[in-house]
Amino acid sequence: MEKLWACIPAGQTRLQCNFGHSVYDFAHIGNFRAYVCSDILKRYLKYSRYKVKHVMNITDVDDKTIRGANKEGISLKEFTRRYEKAFFEDVGALSIDKADVYPRATEHIKEMVSIIKKLLKNKTAYKSEDGIYFDISNFKDYGRLSHAKLEGLEAGKRVRQDQYEKEQAQDFALWKSYDKEDGNVVWKTEIGNGRPGWHIECSAMSMKYLGNHFDIHAGGVDLIFPHQENEIAQSEASTHKKFVNCWFHNEHLLVDGHKMSKSLGNFYTLRDLLSKCYNPKAIRYLLLSAHYRMQLNFTEEAVKAAEHAVQRLSDFMIKLKEIKNNIQNKQIDKLLQKTKKEFEESMDDDLNISIALSHIFEFVKEINALLMESKIGKNNAKKMIKTMMEFDKVLGILEEKEEKLSLELRKLIDEREKARKEKDYLKADKIRQQLKDKGIILEDTKEGVRWKKV
């Protein structure tokens, strides 16, 4: 990985990744583009025999979560756990590997207070009437990641809210003194009664589970400034150590060529798309199909193309599993070695996933041509299935296990086969349509009838 691997110390065998999620609403597909890109990184590291410790922070206290809970008149915990549960369901639907640890911000107040006390002691933080702020003028490397221009910064100019104008470089809140708008969300601590700012949460949880210094921090480009810039400042000012070796940033996701916006009607959660009966594997495929440094345009046509691509790979695997003959084609081993080498070279080149996918589909094309000529045996097929499943440890787009039909659907397929043998084609076509209406497509092959779900 020419660009990414350069951030990793020589001989390193333990990789640590950190990225998080705020549970104030259902996650949208822009969120999931970031999570899928990071999932590909993690999966390929494991494929390459790195040991990965993965922490994903859960932000369950910030301005948005408090507003949402107060609006509904329920506790913060009740509000956030609802969206946390939904998030984990969505993660499962997209076959995103689970993290090793999912720390919640509300359960790490002690760690945040500890960092803030250090910052107060070394005078990179100061107390104000409404909280405790980080003084960016006392951290000489502020702006290192984002190259933010600090000229014209007004000394002591502060921002209390979690979200603010991206171009503003201002002292940011580490701890917010209690405000009546926070309702019953308050912690009584030695630095005062209140709650944490958004940025300090991430540093505290990252450093608790990964140490003061770790290798990879992932996230979307929209988080570079001010959030990640603030993470660096507060973390390094408290530990006097480099916070992160490598920052992994994915580009924005567009929808129909525009930034997602509810006013434009192009704002989608994963649940919105699944309600339209899109295949979650196809959604995952589309989200991973472009290089992480490139913007990705999400369109209905693109989802349909992704469904076709996933189905093509699924059909290919079915064909391989159906091979019964004992032919030994020596050409197959060479094709497998060539494809594996091309796949790995592409992924090593800064996770060039689109090129890696093109090599897999070229391999599928060549094998399909040999299948048409019956030039592949079952032992060849076993090797190809094994290699494809190795690739899928990175991609996560093939079915993990064979789907099974209900007895009712199996009975209909058997009845249709019986009708075909008796040349009752009218009845056979009627049953085929019944199955199609139930989401089952039949394909008649020389090996027998094959079915797949749509």
Quote the CA–CA distance of 140 and 53 in Å, as a whole number: 31
Q: Is the pLDDT of residue 153 over 70?
A: no
Q: Is the pLDDT of residue 272 over 70?
A: yes
Q: How many CB atoms lie within 10 A of CB 85?
A: 11
pLDDT level of residue 169 (50, 70, 90 thresholds): confident
Three-class DSSP labels, the chain:
CCCCHHHCCCCCCEEEEECCEECCCCCEHHHHHHHHHHHHHHHHHHHCCCEEEEECCEECCCHHHHHHHHHHCCCHHHHHHHHHHHHHHHHHHCCCCCCCECCEHHHCHHHHHHHHHHHHHCCCEEEECCEEEECHHHCCCCCCCCCCCCCCCCCCCEECCCCCCCCCCCEEEEEEECCHHHCCCCEEECCEEEEECHHHHHHHHHHHHHCCCEEEEEEEHHHHHHHHHHHHHHHHHHHCCCCEEEEEEECCEEECCEECCHHHCCCCEHHHHHHCCCCHHHHHHHHHCCCCCCCEEECHHHHHHHHHHHHHHHHHHHHHHHCCCCCCCCHHHHHHHHHHHHHHHHHHCCCCHHHHHHHHHHHHHHHHHHHHCCCCCHHHHHHHHHHHHHHHHHHCCCCCCCCCCCHHHHHHHHHHHHHHHCCCHHHHHHHHHHHHHCCEEEEEECCEEEEEEC
Q: Which of residues 381 and 162 earns the better pLDDT score?
A: 381
The percentage of the chain sitting over the pLDDT mark of 70, rounded to a whole number, equals 91
Quote the CA–CA distance of 317 and 386 in Å, as a whole number: 10
Q: Is the pLDDT of residue 165 over 60?
A: no
pLDDT digits (tens, 9 = 90+) for 178-188: 999 999 999 99
pLDDT recorded at residue 151: 60
Mean pLDDT of 37-44: 96
Tell me the CB-side half-sphere exposure of residue 198, using CA atoms within 13 A: 22
pLDDT recorded at residue 155: 45
pLDDT recorded at residue 402: 53
pLDDT digits (tens, 9 = 90+) for 312-338: 999 999 999 999 999 999 999 999 999
What is the chain's mean pLDDT, rounded?
A: 91
Per-residue CA distances from 163 to 211, 225, 266 (Å): 27, 11, 22
Cβ burial of 153 (10 Å; 0-12, 13-18, 19+) is middle
pLDDT recorded at residue 12: 63
